[in-house]
Amino acid sequence: MILKYLLKRIAVLVPVFLFVVTVVFFMIRFAPGGPFDSEKRVSPEIMKNLQAKYHMDEPLYKQYFRYLGDLAQGDLGPSFKHANRSVNEIIFEALPVSAELGLISLTWALLIGLAAGLVASMRPNTWLDYIPMSFSLIGISLPTFVIGPVLVLVFALWNDWLPVAGWNSWQDRILPSLTLGMAYAAYISRLTRGGMMEIRSQDFMRTAKMKGLSEMQVVVRHGLKGGLLPVISYLGPALAGIITGALVTESIFHIPGLGRFFVESAVNRDYTVVMGTALLYFALIFFCNLLVDIVYAFLDPRVRYE
C-alpha cells in the first residue's frame, strides 16, 4: 500500500517538475538581458564563439530540448559565469554546506521547541508556561533577517564571543543555525504545548497516571506519540521554510551554500546555475514533504493513504 502511494506521489511529480522546468526556462530566456551583458567589451568574433560554446546561437526550442535531454541524464550544464565549472560541480560543493546548516537549524528548532513546549504544557498557566510562550511569540514575529543581524551585533560585534561570518570552524555554525532555527523553535514550542494539552485531557492519560506512573513516564510513554502529531505535520512546512530562509541566512553570514549561489547567479544571469539550483530546491522541498507525510502516517494509524 505504501509503495503504491509512493509511486503515485512520484508519478505526480514528473509532470509538475516538467512544468516547472519549462516555466523557469522560458521565463529566464524571455527576460531582457543575458549572461554576457556585463563582459568587458569583446569583439564580435569572441561573442560569437562564447554563444556557440553555450549553444546560445541555436533557436530557443532546440536549446530547451537540449536542456531537457541533459537534465534527464542528470547533467545540469556548464555555468555561464564560473569559468570551466559545471553546475553539477557547484551544487556538489554547495549542497553539503546548506544541508549541514539546515540540519543543525532543525536540530535547534526541535530541541528548543520541544523542551519549551513540554515544560509549558506540564505546568500550564505558571511562569514556566508564560515565559517560554512569550519568548515564542517574539520568535515568531521576528523574521530571520532581523534575528540574524541582532545576534551578530550582540554576540560577535559587541562581545567578541563568536565569529561574525564565515563557514570554517564549529563556532561559525552557531549563529547562522540559531538564526535559522529560532522562528521554528518558537512555532514548534507552541504546537507542542497545544498538542500535549489536548492529549493530557484524554482518558488513557488519566489511566496511565492512576496506575502509578510518574508524571514524566506518563508524558514520555503515553503522551508524546499523540501529542507530537501537530509538530510532525508542521515539519514539512518547517523544512521548506528553513530551505528558503537559508537564502537570507547564507547571505548574512557569507556562507558558501546553495542559497547564495541561487541569489548571486540570479542577479548575474547565470542561466544554468539559476535553473539548476531552483530545480534542486523544488526537488528537495518535494521530498521533505513526502518524508514527513510518511512519518506522519506511520505515527498516526488513522491516516490512510489515498
Partner 1 sequence: MSSSITLTMEKHLATTSVAEEKGSSLWQDAFHRLKKNKLALAGAIFLLLEITIAVLTPVIAPYSFEEQNLEMTMAPMSAQHWLGTDSLGRDLLTRLMYGGRISLLVGILASLVSVFIGVLYGATAGFFGGKIDNWMMRIVDVLYALPFIFMVIILMVYFGRNFVLLFVALGATQWLTMARIVRGQVMSLKEKEFVEAARSIGVGDFKILTRHLIPNSLGPVIVYLTLTVPAVILEEAFLSFLGLGVQAPMASWGTLISSGVEAMEIAPRVLIAPAICLSLTLLSLNFLGDGLRDALDPKGARD
By CB under 8 A, name the binding residues for partner 1: 12, 16, 20, 23-24, 27-28, 31-33, 137, 140-143, 145-146, 149-150, 152-153, 157, 191, 197, 230, 233-234, 236-238, 240-241, 243-244, 247-248, 251-252, 262-263, 266-267, 269, 274, 278, 281-282, 285-286, 289
Q: Which one, 78 or 230, has the nearer CB to partner 1?
A: 230
Q: Which one, 97 or 278, has the nearer CB to partner 1?
A: 278
Rounded to a whole number of angstroms, the minimum distance from the CB of residue 273 to partner 1 is 12
Long-range Cβ pairs for the range 116-119 (8 Å, 24+): 116/185, 116/189, 116/192, 117/188, 117/189, 117/190, 117/191, 117/192, 117/193, 117/196, 117/231, 118/192, 118/193, 118/196, 118/219
Q: Which one, 110 or 278, has the nearer CB to partner 1?
A: 278
From CA 166, how far away is CA 253, in angstroms rounded?
Answer: 6
Rounded to a whole number of angstroms, the minimum distance from the CB of residue 44 to partner 1 is 25
Residues 6+ apart with CB under 8 A from 242: 102, 105, 106, 109, 180, 181, 184
Rounded to a whole number of angstroms, the minimum distance from the CB of residue 211 to partner 1 is 28
Q: Which one, 52 or 291, has the nearer CB to partner 1?
A: 291
Rounded to a whole number of angstroms, the minimum distance from the CB of residue 214 to partner 1 is 26
Q: Which one, 145 or 213, has the nearer CB to partner 1?
A: 145
Q: What is the DSSP letter of 36?
A: T
Q: Count other C-beta atoms under 10 Å from residue 158's C-beta.
A: 9
Residue with cell 505526480: 12
C-alpha 254: how far from its chain's center? 17
Q: Which one, 146 or 216, has the nearer CB to partner 1?
A: 146
Q: What is the DSSP letter of 38?
A: T
Rounded to a whole number of angstroms, the minimum distance from the CB of residue 221 to partner 1 is 25
From CA 295, how far away is CA 289, in angstroms rounded?
Answer: 10
From CA 118, how far away is CA 149, in angstroms rounded?
Answer: 29
Rounded to a whole number of angstroms, the minimum distance from the CB of residue 153 to partner 1 is 5
| Cell numbers describing residue 297 | 502516517
